[in-house]
Structure 1
Amino acid sequence: MSEGMTRRQVLAVGGALGAMAAGGLGAAAGLSRHPATTGAELRSAVPLPPPYTTPLPLPTVLAPVAVSGGTDHYEIVQRETTAEILPGIRTPLWTYGGTFPGPTIESRRGRPVTVTHRNELPVPTVVHLHGGRTPADSDGYPTDLVTPKGWPAAGAPHTAHDRGAAADAHDAPHTMHDPRAVPTRLTRDYTFPLDQRPALLWYHDHRMDFTAPAIWRGLAGLHIVRDAAEEALGLPAGPRELPLMIADRAFAADGSLDYPSLDPTLRTRPGVREPYLAGVLGDVVLVNGAPWPVHEVDAARYRLRVLNASNARHYDLAAVGGDGRSLPLVQIGSDQGLLAAPVTHRSLPIAPAERYDLVVDFTREPVGGLVRLVNRLGTGRTRDVMAFRVARRAADPSRVPGTLATDLPSWRRQDAVRVRDFAFRAGRMGEDGGHGWLIGGRPFDPARSDVRVRLGDVELWRLVADVHHPVHLHLTGFRVLSRGGRPPLPHDAGLKDTVSLRPGESAEILTRWDGYRGRYLFHCHNAEHEDMGMMANLEVV
């Protein structure tokens, strides 16, 4: 990571895909495939249901347990359960509140929320509100563990382990210690001021080195921020606003979720088996926890609030009618809320952790017709996502106004007081370490300070990738200024908190570091990459 790296050097790093072999990942199965499928796919060992037979579940909206002093208080118990995800098969899950996805929290802009999480799982957890403008002590730093009953003394799980390594005999333990960690026993209160634009956020586990398998086992849920200005626009609402959490999984012969962990207990040794170092893909596409579901709709406009909660799978979404015609996907929002004006797509790429706010109009579809949401990057069963069956004609008072939001930041390139360059690439975790993923040539170390930014400063960051890396910044949103020296793509509109870098691609992003001082993170949101070193510390001072 260097402020002095030249643009020529940055682009050279991004273009040198052959350098991956020198970094030890030449054998990783996913890297030789289509670039958007960075990773290797697990195949389920149980019969899979036909598509569009399971009704789409809608996550429960959680009610506060108390309201006091202008703050809404919630409680969530993290616990193991079993659920019928595939018909007739019971699957063990780790959950927020006993469901997958976890319960949705709906809140108002500027109204604080406190969520008390109680950990009744067998391992420590950490909760991160992704997209939240959150004080550092509630942001879910990966070593601020909530330890369960009977767990060893605070810090013990992270003192020595084979961090991010393949299962090679020569891989040496990597010592890891965080003197600033603030663990708690059994419970922790996370306070979110929510002084931010209305948007679809999500919460998920963020424990150091074990984020990927914890999310895979079910630790993910939605958090929606609303305000009166958005509600006055007349967008589709009520039953015509659908949250859609898309996530791929694979199932073992006993019905459990298959995952190639080196330590299936998730207690000591992180990492995955060699073929999956680039990312873990499943062969079953779940939407709100159901396989290839179907939802009955009116012949009217619907607002689809889409999250890609997959560990590593990228999607290119298209809505296809019975006649093979693609319906327009009208994008009205991005990660951090509404756009200034709608943008219409025929298909829309979405990387892990990205969110898109879309309006789809079923008005012209025949009653009884089926509109399929498909993944143009998928093959076989992973080309299917879900379907909408048009059930009836109905009145539709909704609209999509030409102006959506007027509160987007007006930062300009010339406002940047600093330019930083970051290369996201494969490499080794140290002289004696295993294979992993690096930012600026270094794997994550919680005891090291990587970047210091001044509160209130506008900065321009130049990012470059070897393979697909969805890069996420905590605390702040940003504008995408360019890709590969060219203008941003249509889906880059609005305020983002995750940008999907394509293989060999560079991108420029512009942000203002405001909100709160403290220790935050930026990292790749391919969850396996994140666990295997592709994360860095950021101090707001």
Structure 2
Amino acid sequence: MSPTRRTIIGGLIGGAAVTALPFALRGEPGSRPTAVPDPGFTRIANQAALPAQFSLPLKFPPVLRPTRTDSTTDYYTITAREANLTILPGMSTRVFSYEGSFPGPTIEARSNRRVVVTTTNQLPVPTVTHLHGGHTPADSDGYATDLILPVGGWPAAPAHATSHTGHMGHAAEMAGVVAQGTRDYVYPNKQRAATLWYHDHRMDFTGPQVWRGLAGFYLIRDSVDDALPLPEGDRELPLMIMDRSFDANGQFTYPSADPTLRTPGLTVNPNGVQGDVMLVNGVPWPFHEVKQAKYRLRLLNAANSRRLRVSLSPSPSGGKAFTQIGSDGGLLAAPQQMSSIYMVPGERFDVIVDFSKYAAGTNVVMTNSLGESSTNKIMQFRVTGPASDSSSIPAQLSTVERLDPNQSVRTRTFTFLNTSRNGKEVHVINDQLFSTGYIMADPRLGQIETWEFRSSTHHPVHVHLNPFQVISREGGLEPEDAGWKDTVRLTPGDSVRVAIRFDDYAGKYMLHCHNLEHEDMAMMANFQVS
């Protein structure tokens, strides 16, 4: 289908008290990770006047249109700039935006059709764009030091580009490929239809810059997905879920040591920042009217560190709430029924909800059982009445290639640990603080490898370039492990094995924890594909 397929395109969406909870226990470097309690997070208490839950309508980011097209390529322009938006009623919030919206505009691409996004940085700080889930050449992947400097210049560029987490005493390191003002990102889209997203990936500052608004959907479509009789048009809902908090003046609150984002670091422990206002597509606790029909929900956990267990209340009669049809990397082979979905930051789940199982007039709340007080509810669906519905869910959705673990040429282990260095809390992989020059793995193109991820506490692990398949988990596979994944959850003392194969593009890429505060505190590693 064409990029104009969607019929619901929206536009506008839009200093706090800090509670630092105890840090989790650490495993010893080089040892089997020790099971620890759920880690303490820094929770930011909201100070602004908030709307009543489910009093504001859900909105959708605008769908970006190409500036031009040719026989092989769609060309887009995006400007990263500050904007004043209405997120809380009666207040103006200053955000970091793509094209003046929060979330940024949605890009709808076609499988195997090239996209070029010319990105201009009018922000007061450097930025980097990573297409999360994109099968992307290294020079367009959004490596953490491949900065786009502000169009007006950046006096701190040399210091920033040569030092990672200077507050932790790292030695000077080689800079990335730095662009002045503008960069072209080239996305060949040689991959299946899937729900991707793009977001800032600037080294040391991913957490605060995503928190301030730098994220948007990137949807890839293909003929396999097009041919299925799934809900579409205004019954296909991309839902970007995140948490934030605001000061008394309605500004985003984040505990940066330097609010200008020139010097990295937090004023509190770095285990993860959470807010107490739940946003969906930038709207606090929205409602959305639905007919008694099937809807396709593209769920994205875009929170910095908050984990979600999403369910519907009340549950539908005669079955489970969700029929999962897709994961991070696109369609599953066959649908699976789920009562709830455990989502870690960065994960996407493509699901069908059949609202014909609810009586007209029912208010259905999407809940988060991992939340507390204000964060245990996400949004509300208002079932308005009957409607014709020709959509259905086929028993077979797609053909999913299986990566055979028996064909694996090697096994690599990556141990994610919270530990201390020189009296400071740090987050390491294989006892290594991140260095742009250190290569932790050297996979070859076209070879299947087994990667084992081990953890001392909760870590969502994200791998760039290619998706993987989860083949084993301590305690058994979970429903959320199904299909092609690019982000997988680790729980305390967990061990997860995945089969992975890198294709098409050689170069240096990253794997890292997608708890953005862990990422900013050096829980990243390089791998070099050749």
TM superposition score normalised by structure 2: 0.92
Match of 1:357 among 350, 355, 366: 350
The number of aligned residues is 502
**1:240 shift after superposition:** 0.3
Q: 1:236 aligns with which of 202, 218, 231?
A: 231
Separation in 2, partners of 1:527, 1:300: 37
Could you tell me how far 1:530 is from its partner in structure 2? 0.3
Instruction: Check if 1:339 corresponds to 2:339.
Output: no
The structure 1 residue matched to 2:172, chosen from 170, 176, 187, is 176
Deviation at 1:327, TM superposition (A): 4.9
Aligned equivalent of 1:489: 478
Distance in 2 between the 1:339 and 1:222 partners?
20
Structure 1 residues not aligned, in runs of 5+: 1-8, 18-31, 166-171
| From 357, 364, 369, the counterpart of 2:362 | 369
One-letter code aligned to 2:245 = A
Q: 1:371 to 1:327 in 2, by over 3 A?
A: farther
- Give the partner amino acid of 1:425: L
- The residue type equivalent to 1:204 in the other structure is H
Structure 2 match to 1:465: 455
Q: How far did residue 228 of structure 1 move?
A: 1.5
SS of the residue corresponding to residue 252 of structure 1 reads coil
The answer to whether the 8 Å contact 2:165/2:522 transfers is no
Within 1, Cα distance between the matches of 2:237 and 2:100? 21
Which whole-Å CA distance do the structure 2 matches of 1:487 and 1:16 have between them?
16
Residue pair 2:454, 2:493 contacting (<8 A) in 1 also: yes
Q: How does 1:287-436 map to 2 (within 5 A)?
A: 287-321=280-314, 327-406=320-399, 408-428=400-420, 430=421, 432=422, 434-436=424-426
Are 1:10 and 1:464, in contact at CA under 8 Å, matched by a contact in 2?
Answer: no
The separation in 2 between residues aligned to 1:53 and 1:322, in whole angstroms, is: 22
Normalised by the length of structure 1, the TM-score is: 0.90
Q: Distance in 2 between matches of 1:89 and 1:283?
A: 18
Q: How does 1:68-107 map to 2 (within 5 A)?
A: 68-107=70-109
Corresponding residue for residue 451 of structure 1: 441
> Are positions 1:211 and 2:206 aligned together?
yes
Match of 1:252 among 247, 252, 257: 247
Code of the aligned partner of 1:328: A
Separation in 1 of the partners of 2:317 and 2:393? 25
| Matched position secondary structure for 2:374 | helix
Counterparts in 2 of 1:455 and 1:392: CA distance versus 1, 3 Å: same
Three-state SS of the structure 2 residue aligned to 1:174 is coil
Distance of 1:161 and 1:416 partners within structure 2: 34
- Aligned to 1:319, what secondary structure does the other structure show? strand
Match of 2:268? 274
Query: SS of the counterpart of 1:363?
Result: helix
Question: Offset of 1:90 from its aligned partner?
Answer: 1.1
Alpha-carbon shift at residue 173 of structure 1 (Å): 3.6
Q: Is the Cα–Cα contact under 8 Å of residues 332 and 359 in structure 1 kept in the other structure?
A: yes
Quick check: 2:164–2:173 contact (8 Å CA) kept in 1? no
| Pairs within 5 Å for 1:113-262 | 113-148=115-150, 149-152=152-155, 154-160=157-163, 162-163=165-166, 165=167, 173-179=169-175, 181-262=176-257
What is the CA–CA distance in structure 2 between the aligned matches of 1:337 and 1:175, rounded to whole Å?
A: 40
Per the alignment, do residues 116 and 374 of structure 1 end up closer, same or farther by CA in structure 2, a change over 3 Å counting? same
> Retained in 2: the 8 A contact 1:174–1:433?
no
- Code of the residue aligned with 2:276 in structure 1: it is D
Indicate the structure whose relative CO is greater, using CA pairs within 8 Å and at least 6 residues apart.
Answer: 1
Deviation per CA, 1:33-85, whole angstroms, max 9, x where unpaired? xx2x6522111011222111110001110000010241000000000011111
Aligned amino acid, residue 178 of structure 1: M
Q: Output the CA distance in 2 between the equivalents of 1:209 and 1:69.
A: 39
Q: Tell me the residue number matched to 2:68.
A: 66
- Following TM superposition, by how much is the alpha carbon of 1:159 offset from its aligned partner in structure 2, in angstroms? 3.2
Offset at residue 150 of structure 1 (A): 2.2
How far apart are residue 13 of structure 1 and its match?
2.3
Q: 1:39 maps to what in 2?
A: 41
1:230-281 deviation digits (Å, cap 9, x = unpaired) = 111101111000000000001112211000111111012x121234x11001
- Give aligned-pair identity as a percent: 48
Q: Which runs of 5+ in 2 are unaligned?
A: 1-27
Distance in 2 (alpha carbons) for counterparts of 1:176 and 1:250: 35
SS of aligned partner of 1:137: helix
| SS at 2:406 equivalent | helix
